[in-house]
Structure 1
Amino acid sequence: MRALRGLWRWRRNQLCRATDLAEAWLALAALLLIVVAAPVSGFLTGTAAQDSLQRSAGAQQRSRHLVTATVVRRLGGAPPEVESDIGAARETRSRVLADWAAPDGTSRHGATLADIESPHRGDHFGLWTDPRGRITTRPLDTETATTHAVLAGVGAALATVAVVETVRRLIVWNMVRRRYARWDQAWDRAGPDWGKAGTGS
Structure 2
Amino acid sequence: MAFRGPKVWLWRWRRNPLKRRADAVEAWLVLGAWALTVVAGVLAGLGVSQAVEHSLARERVEWHSVVAHLTEKAPGTPAAPSGRASGERVWAKVRWSAPDGSEHTGQARVDPGSSSGTPVTVWTDPEGRLVTKPATAAQARLRSALTGALIGVGAAAMPFVGGRVLRGRLERRRMEQWDAEWARFGPLWGRTTG
Report TM bin, short chain: 0.5 to 0.7
Could you tell me how far apart the structure 2 residues matched to 1:195 and 1:5 are?
34
Tell me the matched-pair count: 175
- Overall identity of the aligned pairs, in %: 29
In the aligned structure 2, how far is the partner of 1:189 from the partner of 1:145? 66
Do the aligned partners of 2:12 and 2:24 also contact (CA within 8 Å) in 1? no
Normalising by structure 2, we get a TM-score of 0.63
Structure 2 match to 1:93: 89
SS of the counterpart of 2:130? coil
The amino acid across from 2:165 in the alignment is: L
SS at match of 1:181: helix
Which residue of structure 2 aligns with residue 66 of structure 1? 66
Aligned pairs for 1:108-147 (under 5 A) are: 112-116=107-111, 118-122=112-116, 123-129=118-124, 136-141=130-135, 143=137, 144-147=139-142
Task: Give 1:186's aligned residue.
Answer: 181
1:24 is matched with 27
The structure 2 residue matched to 1:41, chosen from 44, 50, 59, is: 44
Q: What is the 5 A alignment of 1:153-164? A: 153-164=148-159
* Matched AA of 1:41: A
The Cα offsets for residues 167-195 of structure 1, whole Å up to 9 and x where unpaired, read as 2101211111111221333344457xx38
> Where does residue 82 of structure 1 map in the other structure?
none
**With structure 1 as the length reference, what TM-score do the two structures score?**
0.61
1:140-173 CA-to-partner distances (Å, cap 9, x unmatched) read 3453444443333223321232122112101211
| Cα gap change, 1:50 to 1:112, in 2 (>3 Å) | closer
Structure 1 residues 159, 200: closer, same or farther in 2, change over 3 A?
Answer: farther
177-186 vs 39-48, greater mean Cα deviation: 39-48
Q: Measured at CA, do residues 146 and 200 of structure 1 come closer, stay the same or move farther in structure 2, by a change above 3 Å? A: farther
Letter in 2 for 1:30: A
Root-mean-square deviation over aligned CA pairs = 3.9
Contact map agreement 2:37 2:158 (CA 8 A) in 1: no
- Residues 45 and 153 in structure 1, CA contact (< 8 A), matched pair in contact too: yes
1:106 and 1:113 map into 2 onto residues whose CA distance is 18
Unpaired segments ≥5 residues, structure 2: 1-6, 77-86
1:72-119 per-residue CA deviation (whole Å, 9 max, x = no partner) reads: 32347xxxxxxxxxxxxxx63213355x342355666x6734331x32
Whole-angstrom CA distance in 2 between matches of 1:128 and 1:196: 85
**CA distance in structure 2 between the aligned counterparts of 1:172 and 1:25, rounded to whole angstroms:** 11
Structure 1's 65 and 150: CA in aligned 2 closer, same or farther, altered over 3 A?
same
| Residues 19-28 or 159-168, more deviating | 19-28
1:75–1:97 contact (8 Å) kept in structure 2: no
Unpaired stretches in structure 1, ≥5 consecutive residues: 77-90
